Amino acid sequence: MDDKSGVINLEYEVIRYDFSKAGQASSEIKKVLKQLGINSNIVRKVAIATYEAEMNIAIHSLGGRIIVTITESNINISALDYGPGIENIKLAMEEGFSTAPNNIRELGFGAGMGLPNMKRCSDVFEICSKKNKGTKVDMKISLN
């Protein structure tokens, strides 16, 4: 969707445990940013942030969405899901903390580095979560 104000909106559904598709949204987002000629350092940050967010939704949630809005000055990423929420956000943000079960660790996930990676890649990072409701991660990456 590309409206007149020059703002581009991208939106993708992320399905729980669909590991053959998980990563596709991030891959498409990356392609769009490259096509727009956005600086490769910024593309890299967005790619890492969206991919970690997408994998978290696929692994830890019941499913959700990734929404990317590109304006003249910023790239805004929202990753939201339909539950089950994070009980202790402070703990979840710590490097090395993970509740990933063995079958997920066998895929190469569960280092407990995803949320810290997302934070590191973004200029503004906000996470809110409600137990039994869902989680929303908002990230802003400045284009300047």
Partner 1 sequence: MKLSAIKETLNAQVLTGEEFLDKEVYAAFGCDLMSDVLAFVKEDTVLLTGLTNPQVIRTAEMIDVFAIIFVRGKKPNSQVIDMAKERNITVMTTDYILYNACGKLYEKGLQGLDIKGVQVNG
Ligand X SMILES: Nc1ncnc2c1ncn2[C@@H]1O[C@H](COP(=O)(O)OP(=O)(O)OP(=O)(O)O)[C@@H](O)[C@H]1O
- Answer yes or no whether residue 97 interacts with partner 1 by CB under 8 A: yes
CB 105 within 8 A of CB 55: no
Q: Which stretch binds partner 1 (CB under 8 A): 7-15, 70-78, 107-115, 134-142?
A: 107-115
- Which of 28, 82, 97, 138 touches ligand X (CB under 6 A)? 97
CA separation (Å) from 106 to 80, 101, 103, 111? 25, 9, 5, 11
| Touching partner 1, residues 48-67 (CB under 8 A) | 48, 51-52, 55
* Contacts of residue 6, Cβ cutoff 8 Å, sequence gap at least 6: 71, 72
Which stretches of the chain bind partner 1, using CB under 8 A?
19-20, 22-23, 26-27, 30, 40, 44, 47-48, 51-52, 55, 94-97, 107-114, 116-117, 120
